[in-house]
Structure 1
Amino acid sequence: MPHNGTGSYVDFCTGFYLMLDHRWEDAIVFLEKILQENPDAERIHNHLASCYFQVDKKEEAIRHIEKIAQLKPDDFSIHYTLGNIYASEGNEMGAISEYERANSSEMDGIDKGFVSDMLHRLASSYMKHGEIENAANIYHKILDLKLTDEPVKIHYNLGQIYVDAKRVKEAIEEFVKAKKYRPHAEPVCFYLALCYEELKKYDKAIAELKSFIEYDPDAWLMRINLSNIYERVKQYENAEFERNKSLVILESRVSGESKDIREYITLSQLLQRKGKEKKAIETLEAAIANVIDGDDKALGEVRFMLANIYYEMNDHNNVIDELEKVLEMDPDNHQANNFLGYFFIEQGVQLDRAVGLIKKALSLNPENAAYLDSLGWAYYKLAKKDDEMMEQALQKLIEASNYAQDPEIMGHLGDVYFSLGFWEKAKSQWENAIDLWKESEVEAPPHLKYKTVRELKAKRSIQNKLQKIRNLKMVESSKEKVETGERVVRNHVH
């Protein structure tokens, strides 16, 4: 700006000294006047942005920074700054756009800390928006430019990206690289074993988990995962050994008033599996007392688990009580809506409310086979002699069966077919359900197979219904023989 006594120069000097005196509003008046004659004055836009930020007029401040970005399209610093502003304002797409411009700018002479921060932010934004390939490219750039002091984190992030993209072999490569920097990082070893398991390289998965357990014998999560793989390869004694070890470790942690909610939940599941429902309940109640403090999501999860255990114990009042508490905290909890609705249908109480609860669960998760099954079963229970509602029940149950091959859904379908008089279809559905249960039982010996009360009840009910059909067929067959015999005798008499 020329020092020739022009109005613009006077306005600049006045505005600048008002800024130094922190008289931001007055400074804005003089600086805005300059832009009327010099709309592309970068320095004035910069000062105005500072003033507007000081008086908490963010939109105006951002408008001036955006103008600078237009004037300097290849300037790393301005695009990096604008990207950070957009990110802080929740404008994710704007942030990505500016970080991309910063990434394509000339970065010679720029502090490596700023470049690294920008690239990490860009990669993170790509991840949030599911742009896996772009995120991977940015992480590779961070590694190539040696912009990180912790390459293990980059390789770990890359591994997770490839896992999400189901590119398991590439994920393994990244986790192996991460392991070289930190051989005993639990998340790295965990995912590496998970990838080997996905590729059905069970020996490698087992070796990975065992290696970590040798380093840290109290790593209960690794032991749980090891037990699951042992079950998959039918090494049932080893699976039970690892579960028992986990149980002992977790009991010790919880008795020491652990602050990790996962430890209470997992211990409760292990106790329930062993048929120790009362101890499982005590463990979850301890979690509520010792760990959960204002975390409604965690509290809802624990209460939902309690409802399941009470269901297994046929403690109906507590099932309702726990589920009502979950819905009081979170009316949109679709699992609790469906569970409570199905439970009411089973008990034959509050049927109208039950249908409403199940419909709400479906509105939140419309392709859930279990919820469709619940609604179909509710219609069946309400149908009685209403053929139209029976047809609706059949429609929902067929829809459910399209989403999942589940023995309970097949059992319900069989009931509807039987009520409609299609005995052969009913028999076919019930037999298919029994066959599915038998297939699952082959996978583990009976003494290790954990069966829920609901599963046992459903299976027993279907077996009884199949026997009923067999009996009815025997009666029909006997009638036919009697009628045939009568006709023969009469013919002889005549």
Structure 2
Amino acid sequence: DFARGHNNLATIYKELDENDLAIVHFEKAIELDDSYSRAMRNLGDIYLKKGNSVKAIYWLERATQTEPESLYGWFWLGRAHVQNGEVKKGLQYYLKVLAQKPDLPQVHHHLGKAYFEIRDYTNAIKHVQLALKKNPAIIPFYITMSRIYAHMQQETLALATLQDALAINRNIAAIYIERGNIHKSGSRYEDALKQYKLATLISPDDWQGYYKQGVVLYYLSRMEEAKEALTKANEISLDNGMVFHFRGLVALAENDLKT
């Protein structure tokens, strides 16, 4: 039928990251069939990725009302509420999913992240550990666990967790970024710099590694190198406020050195 045709076309656009076109056709599918819960869920997922949590909540609430047995709808609705700053409401939806299907590692991971946001470290660790137990090959699980430990000032555990991640895959820049962040928090700027450089070797088109190099080089008073790293970050990520901020600090520091 026509509604299914629009949904199928929208799904193709979504897979191609042509999200604006996907939205047009998902909405057309729903206009033709106002019970098309799959199209509603997909719209919610797109708006989640675009950072528009209000529209995501609208479509995901409609989807769960239309098809309350779909766990995907409840899971994405939980994510939308967390993204919207309504963490406790998001927790309720994650727990609703786990009550019906307790072996989903991604749900445990997101539940752990939500508990981390409200500083419930005991439950945060519990659920991220469950996620790791159910699927120990997923690198973001280790990164989340490391962040929890780091925030608790358990630096040794944080670094050990990232070492476990490296044992699985040494070619993921995010692991080195996290290791660098821990060293930076401990004011070990040279160690942090080494990790950020490794990150840019793996992902030379990612602005974060260059930006973070620029920050620690600034703290090390190596202004020329800091300027070079931040310029590179700026070339990759135009109009990035964080990069502009530190470029300004470097420029001020250079002027101070000249006077």
- Give the TM-score normalised by structure 1: 0.43
Alignment match, 1:426 = 226
- Structure 2 gaps of 5+ residues are none
Q: 1:4-83 counterparts in 2 under 5 A?
A: none
Deviation, 1:277, is 1.6
Deviation, 1:280, is 0.8
Q: 1:2-401 counterparts in 2 under 5 A?
A: 183=1, 186=4, 189-196=6-13, 198=16, 205=22, 208-226=25-43, 243-250=56-63, 252=65, 258-289=68-99, 291-293=100-102, 296=103, 298=104, 300-345=105-150, 347=151, 349-380=153-184, 384=188, 389=191, 392-401=194-203
Structure 1 pair 319–202 and aligned structure 2 pair: CA distance change class (3 A):
closer
Alignment match, 1:413 = 213
Deviation, 1:357, is 1.5
Structure 1 pair 433–282 and aligned structure 2 pair: CA distance change class (3 A):
farther
Note if 1:476 corresponds to 2:257.
yes
Deviation, 1:284, is 1.0
Structure 1 pair 261–228 and aligned structure 2 pair: CA distance change class (3 A):
closer
Deviation, 1:413, is 1.6
Deviation, 1:431, is 5.8
Deviation, 1:422, is 2.5
Tell me the alpha carbon deviations over residues 154-180 of structure 1, each in whole angstroms, 9 at most, x when there is no partner. xxxxxxxxxxxxxxxxxxxxxxxxxxx
Name the amino acid aligned to 1:249: R
Structure 1 pair 470–249 and aligned structure 2 pair: CA distance change class (3 A):
same
Over the aligned positions, Cα root-mean-square deviation in angstroms equals 4.1
Aligned partners of 1:190 and 1:285: how far apart in 2? 30
Aligned partners of 2:18 and 2:195: how far apart in 1? 40
Tell me the alpha carbon deviations over residues 266-286 of structure 1, each in whole angstroms, 9 at most, x when there is no partner. 111222233222111111122
Tell me the alpha carbon deviations over residues 74-117 of structure 1, each in whole angstroms, 9 at most, x when there is no partner. xxxxxxxxxxxxxxxxxxxxxxxxxxxxxxxxxxxxxxxxxxxx
Q: Secondary structure at the match of 2:170?
A: coil
Deviation, 1:334, is 2.5
Deviation, 1:477, is 3.2
Tell me the alpha carbon deviations over residues 412-434 of structure 1, each in whole angstroms, 9 at most, x when there is no partner. 22233335542233244446657
Mapped contact 2:112–2:127 kept (Cα < 8 A): yes
Q: Secondary structure at the match of 1:469?
A: helix
Q: Secondary structure at the match of 1:303?
A: helix
Alignment match, 1:124 = none
Structure 1 pair 322–202 and aligned structure 2 pair: CA distance change class (3 A):
closer
Structure whose CA Rg is larger? 1
Deviation, 1:246, is 1.1
Aligned partners of 2:253 and 2:229: how far apart in 1? 17
Name the amino acid aligned to 2:223: W
Alignment match, 1:12 = none
Mapped contact 1:417–1:426 kept (Cα < 8 A): yes
Aligned partners of 2:19 and 2:117: how far apart in 1? 36
Structure 1 pair 370–268 and aligned structure 2 pair: CA distance change class (3 A):
same
Mapped contact 1:430–1:466 kept (Cα < 8 A): yes
Tell me the alpha carbon deviations over residues 260-314 of structure 1, each in whole angstroms, 9 at most, x when there is no partner. 221111111222233222111111122222x114xx2x1x211211222234445
Tell me the alpha carbon deviations over residues 122-150 of structure 1, each in whole angstroms, 9 at most, x when there is no partner. xxxxxxxxxxxxxxxxxxxxxxxxxxxxx
Mapped contact 1:304–1:326 kept (Cα < 8 A): yes
Of 188-197 and 267-276, deviating more is: 188-197
Mapped contact 1:380–1:390 kept (Cα < 8 A): yes
- Give the TM-score normalised by structure 2: 0.74
